[in-house]
Structure 1
């Protein structure tokens, strides 16, 4: 798409106001609506779907420990914006084409409020899915301060609903975090990075496959999807005017399949202060950060000595990751334009200590699970991704006991890096280790080919999504709770998740 880069300013999603703030709880109502969005001033407006009718959706800000109720309402039209593949499990002709369910990614919630893929509902709840469909979700927010996000999770069409626009920030804040004197207010900015392709009329493009492979059906299942443009907060290649001072950026990779390896084009240091689920023990000085789909990172950039200059956030991650095609790569992301002077003196800080983490010990683990990531072909010759070589409807095989600690060995037999997300809990990465894939395929034996590799410093915090690299065993450790019941774990490359790299798991009492 041939549009002028860095012509439009970066929008900041508004903070949603609650309907009611009662004694001990806060209540919101969020409507999903079709809307028309200006993604670039040189393009016609784009029909999209948005929470509260905007894209991205409004930011929801809550306090750690605050009980929040949200009524998610589907007010979308009966026809989908994008091509539906009716060969995909959960998206056959016997269910409505437009259905939604909301997952707050990273939230610690009971199963009924987690956004289970089969708990979908249609406009006005005229039709509902098979599992515990609720009109009002409860979020107790029993977690530390962290950057989360809400997005659609309907089975078989998650990739389409999120691509259509159903995503937004969900921020958990706390007094403890405020006491650290980090940049705040207008200097604390969320950045939702996504890729999209647009038709000449401004409408969203999502690929259809030809009819031949699937008899007489057109399909929209592709191995991965990579858009031609980069959007930040819903705007194509925007710029942001900043003062010469410190800023906090909450960076979220909300793309379907694209990874980002972000750096500043002046090779300037950034200071990472968090991972997916909260603050690190100490800030880390970094020159680049890799984010898989759904991963988040909070960084501080100090523009103090750069008044009047321009700096660009650039990306050099291959697509697919890690061994992609050069034609899929996009380098430009976001431009910072530093004003000559500050408005107010910058009194924020980058403290030496942030938050003490309760690291989990391997000796406390009661179970090890060996779980494969598999790359197969379906009956039409299309790529089919599975977890532990099982489809969505296979009997549940992961059943950790409430309160226990487990170590999962993610054995990647595919050529892709997969961002594996586990609902309900956060985990810590223990290590990665190269292994003999051929021998495993033949004998189901793990033969290591190299030493154990500790996680990167940027990953040594609370995580809910981990990059499982090809030809490696990635070990993660987690404690299951505080709730029991039915949840899911899956690859967060949305094309993989829909077909069919997602499995239920159950926490038992």
Structure 2
């Protein structure tokens, strides 16, 4: 595991914006190559062997406008052997190295969604059973939002993402531009992820669960993984020099398992203006920001009163943290740059109008249980509605209809649940007696339903479903029909077997 590394010695890297190879008939075309390379992730670490989009970790950022479609050819130029421990007991004897990219949060036709079984190998020599096209089409018809792209290959998403296959994707529109938010050099992506390293600087990922039984294969999938260092934009505990003015940060939790409770050690607040699906109705002032894997938060931080000071973005580890745990720090802001010009950006109170999905007719209600289970080897295998990936499809909403999905979490920890294709609205969460449920199989509520937090009242594609609670979301299925997936975004769970297909019927 990682030796102790000094914090705040490397500058936060800028993420470059990718340019199209060509533009024809107002449609831009891009090529992205997935390749193995080395990158220095900390001053005192040897260069780390990684997999990345265009030889970068994180990958290049897409910056596109609403209504301007793009085409992307994703190319697998990776070696034939995986650089991380591969559990062959769960990969269904597929090729060892296979990839498929999912644009997370995008309203995209199913053949461009990054379906887990639409994987392909180097030069498309082998393809999965759902592979349909080499070039993906992204319409970008949805409202402005911070999306992200990452690998989604069946059974090895946790390894491919951990190896470095992640990147950010921003859609912009005129509504957002009219708000006079911080822009240009004052709008910064922050892609947060945890990793562990071996002494030689290579990535560490466990090949066995803690205290494995003798009948497990080696390597064997682990039920979760928390790295012991925090990276932002591909650097371990970086610092950023800022001017004493307002900055906009587009924050993504790209960790496999780890959730964060972010706060600033200066005691100042965040101003959250957006979430997964774009702008919130109103700005929300927060002292602490909770982010599960795959969630995004659009924040404004005002450094104007902190000239000459250093401020640490912290991670609250709870009341009794392990004294050896270094992950309470994320990065450092140094308010040491000279103010170049007057700050004319705003923190608006009102941001956007989001019509409620509750005003329409609800065509269906689904109770979907998050259940503890074990695989034939005795390993933890959480399931959705007690179904495995290969079981027949049970969720078949009709195109254009609205449904309410209730996630009933019968397990003792939070799961971030992601639904492809759509952006939903959170209705409420209601606690129930988990011990009573485990004894009787019946739901007995222990309190009233509570509405979503103020910073959850926009459009979402990933929702935190806490332990012992029923989390309800309202979903309008569209704009496309086809086969998609919904799953837990703890990647170790998604790979084994907490993921299910659903079909949007015509």
TM-score, structure 2 as length reference: 0.97
CA 1:48/1:478 → structure 2, altered by over 3 Å: closer, same or farther? same
- Cα shift at 1:67: 0.9
Alpha-carbon distance in 1 for matches of 2:387, 2:216: 27
Q: Which residue in the other structure is 1:119 paired with?
A: 118
Q: Describe the shift of the 1:2–1:329 C-alpha distance in structure 2 as closer, same or farther (beyond 3 A).
A: closer
Distance 2:215 2:283 in 1: 55
1:226–1:328: 8 Å Cα contact kept in structure 2? no
Aligned to 2:274: 274
1:302 Cα deviation from its structure 2 partner = 0.5
**Structure 2 residue aligned with 1:70:** 72
Deviation at 1:363, TM superposition (A): 6.1
Which sections of structure 2, spanning at least 5 residues, go unmatched? none
- CA deviation map 1:265-296 (0-9, x unaligned): 01101110001110001111111100000000
Q: Does 1:130 align with 2:132?
A: no
Secondary structure at 1:475 match in 2: strand
Question: SS of 1:361's equivalent?
Answer: helix
Partner SS for 1:458: helix
Instruction: Give the alignment of 1:122-161 within 5 angstroms.
Output: 122-161=121-160
Query: Helix, strand or coil for the counterpart of 1:177?
Result: helix
Q: Distance in 2 between matches of 1:404 and 1:455?
A: 23
Match in the other structure for 1:192: 191
Deviation at 1:379, TM superposition (A): 2.2
Match of 1:17 among 19, 44, 56: 19
Structure 1: segments with no counterpart, 5+ residues: none
Deviates more, 1:453-462 or 1:160-169: 453-462
Task: Name the structure 2 match of 1:208.
Answer: 207
Matched position secondary structure for 1:384: coil
1:466-481 → structure 2 map (5 Å cutoff): 466-481=463-478
User: 1:387, 1:126 → 2: CA distance?
Assistant: 33
Does residue 288 in structure 1 map to residue 285 in structure 2?
no
Cα distance per residue 1:283-330 (max 9 Å; x no partner): 111111000000000000010111110000000146xxx999776672
- Look up the SS of the partner of 2:11 in the other structure: coil
Deviations 1:380-421 (A, max 9, x none): 221111000100001100001111110011000101100000
TM-score norm. by structure 1 comes to: 0.96
- Farther off after superposition, 495-504 or 428-437: 428-437
> Distance in 2 between the 1:329 and 1:222 partners?
22
1:220, distance to aligned residue in structure 2 (A): 3.6
For the residues of structure 1 that align with 2:121 and 2:213, how far apart are their CA atoms? 31
Aligned-partner SS, 1:170: strand
Which moved further from structure 2: 287-296 or 373-382?
Answer: 373-382
Correspondence for 2:29 among 27, 34, 40 = 27
Structure 1 window deviating more from structure 2 (212-221 vs 64-73): it is 212-221
Distance 1:59 1:316 in 2: 29
For the 8 Å contact 2:242–2:337, the answer to whether it is kept is: no
Q: Establish whether residue 343 from structure 1 lines up as the match of residue 340 from structure 2.
A: yes
Of 58, 61, 65 in structure 2, the residue corresponding to residue 59 of structure 1 is 61
- Between 357-366 and 128-137, the greater mean CA deviation after superposition: 357-366
Structure 2: distance between partners of 1:459 and 1:33: 36
Q: How far apart are the structure 2 equivalents of 1:507 and 1:439?
A: 35
Pick which of 161-170 and 375-384 moved more.
375-384
CA distance in 2, matches of 1:202, 1:80: 17
- CA gap 1:415/1:325 in 2 versus in 1, 3 angstroms: farther
Residue aligning to 2:364: 367
Aligned-partner SS, 1:377: coil
Looking at structure 2, the residues matched to 404 and 331 of structure 1 have their Cα atoms a distance apart, in angstroms, of 44
**Segments ≥4 residues shifted beyond 3 Å:** 210-216, 322-329, 438-445
Contact 1:316–1:329 under 8 Å retained in 2:
no
> Alpha-carbon deviation of 1:179?
1.3
User: RMSD between aligned alpha carbons?
Assistant: 1.7
